Structure 1
Amino acid sequence: MLRDELLHRLADLGASLRFFSRLPVPQLGRRDDTGALPELPRAAAMIPLAGFLIALPAALVGLAANAAGLPDLLVGLLVVAILVAPTGALHEDGLADSADGLVGGATAEKRLAIMKDSRIGTFAGLALILSTLIRASAYGALFAQPAAGVFAVLGGGAMSRLAMAALWAALPNARPDGLAARLGRPDRRALAIGAGLTVLLLSPLPALVGAPSTLLGIALAGFAALAFGAFAREKIGGQTGDILGATQVLAEAAFLIGLLIGR
């Protein structure tokens, strides 16, 4: 029983890593079908751990850049660049589409149509620039204490994916024929396991930035996801893949701001 559970979880982790990144992930156990999409109702439990692992190269680059004496902002920009590269800017694309669609359309149908348009408008450009600058500035400041910077990158990868998965479960599908709808929605047990894993992955942070800052980061990430989810529900009636991608970026930025407050 325990062995089967472990094999299923490894398969879920492999599928999540392949879906949310372009990293070359080998088969993780005999139940891992390398060509399959995640079975999301169950696989959501592994999404935070996948986010943690996807962020690992960026954490190492940030550590090396800081050790080389590069300016804080440049360290932060390199971290963001390496965070974006393995995902193919998947979440940033969602942020851009959401910014144009939610703000630019007059009706839910028009907003959804704009979100499918690959062209970038003014709101998308502003959202990408501001989110990049906020995250880069925050990472640069956090890497002033190298260990704090490393675990901020890793913890942000986990916490922001948990927030994304929670919103995925909470909101109905705004586009029934979209990929997010076809994958299904996370179930409560999977989210509970994912939340427990996230707490474990964040456990070094209180010793590095303080427990109040860590708790504030978690609270702000959750608030960002809730607020954006409420806005999306009002504008288009629920979530889409773009909304979920935007949620990851916004939750990550909010988490970092919380870590910096009160330090």
Structure 2
Amino acid sequence: MKTEWQELRIAGAFLTRFPVARGVEAPPERLGRSMAFFPAVGLILGLGLVVLNWALGAFLPRAVLDCLLILLLIAATGALHLDGMADLVDGLAGGKDREGILRIMKDSRVGAMGVIGLVMVLLLKYLSLYNLPEGYKAAALLFMPCAGRWIQVVLASFCRYIRPEGGTGGAFVDHAGEREFLIGTATLLLAALVLFGLKGIFLVFLIGLAAMVLLRFFEARLGGVTGDVLGAATEVVEVLTLLLMLAVLGA
């Protein structure tokens, strides 16, 4: 259990701005193994949102509160995934081949398409959360970050890292595999079942189909993944999860 606890701390330190892994050694192999707990970190982030929603709900209108919750999630994660989203959109929009896409993605500047991508992701996330029935809001706040971090486990477990010069994401992708996928998926399924009952299993099935589409797309377009791809996939799946909840849960 000590090893798993340390791997959870490593996952938390990488996915958030909180220094929860001080004193824990994190060689590449352990970084990869920590991906098994990425969905669990998502649940912890979601729990924080639920507490804030409860604490502030009596003082703020829902429209303002939902916007604030999304902002707080961005702050807690250091906008890590949004940065990947902007880079990926710019790369796909401007690159004619894999080398061109990767070159644009590495540029620290954000282009017009990247800005549009960020705006649309945030707008869709906000509107979807705002239009969920109040009775499902707490469950959505818990499940959305969990599903968003699960897709990282899927892509890292079944794709290769494609930057030859290496990068932070490479240590995770190169050492994630079947164990990480199984533990992460079990976490997602259990959360869905507890939060939504049998409808949650159908929800996970639909998210799984979307994960297969993303995996095939990145393999065909790029030949694998980078850290930016993993971050962008998180944003896409978070939005998709909220949209699916609106449809599946009869909102």
Tell me if TM exceeds 0.5. yes
1:3 aligns to what?
none
Change (3 A) 1:128 1:38: farther
Separation in 2, partners of 1:218, 1:160: 12
- SS at 2:231 equivalent: helix
Q: Deviations over 1:78-109 (max 9, x none)?
A: 12111110111001111110000022111211
- Bigger shift: 224-233 or 244-253? 224-233
Given the alignment, which residue of 212, 224, 242 partners 1:238? 224
* Count, aligned residues: 247
Residues 11 and 250 from structure 1, CA distance in 2 versus in 1: closer, same or farther, beyond 3 angstroms? same
| Alpha-carbon spacing, 1:37–1:238, altered in 2? closer, same or farther (3 Å) | closer
In 1: Cα distance, 2:227 partner to 2:107 partner: 14
SS of equivalent to 2:134: coil
* Structure 1 segment 124-203 matched on structure 2, within 5 A: 124-142=114-132, 144-145=134-135, 148-176=136-164, 177-183=166-172, 184-203=174-193
Letter aligned with residue 224 of structure 1? A
CA displacement at 1:197 relative to structure 2: 1.9
Q: Tell me the C-alpha RMSD between the 2 structures.
A: 2.1
1: CA distance between counterparts of 2:68 and 2:206? 24
1:33 and 2:24 aligned: yes
Q: 2:9 aligns with which of 7, 10, 14?
A: 14
Where structure 1 has 5 or more consecutive residues not aligned to the other structure, the ranges are: 1-5
- Specify the alignment match of 1:43 in structure 2: 34
Gaps of 5+ in 2: none
Percent identity among equivalent residues? 29
Contact 1:221–1:252 (8 Å) recurs in 2:
no
Bigger relative contact order, structure 1 or 2 (CA pairs below 8 A, ≥6 apart): 2
**TM-score, with normalisation over the residues of structure 2?**
0.89
Aligned to 1:218: 204
Name the aligned partner's letter for residue 76 of structure 2.
P
| Inter-CA distance 38–157: structure 2 relative to 1 (3 Å threshold) | farther
Q: Is the 8 A contact 1:173 1:239 kept in 2?
A: yes
- Residue from 106, 110, 114 that aligns with 1:120: 110
Shift of residue 231, structure 1, vs aligned partner: 2.3
Deviation of 1:149 after TM superposition, in Å, equals: 1.3
Note if contact 1:48-1:162 (Cα within 8 Å) is conserved in structure 2. Answer: yes
2: CA distance, partners of 1:131 / 1:125: 10
Q: CA deviation at 1:160?
A: 1.6
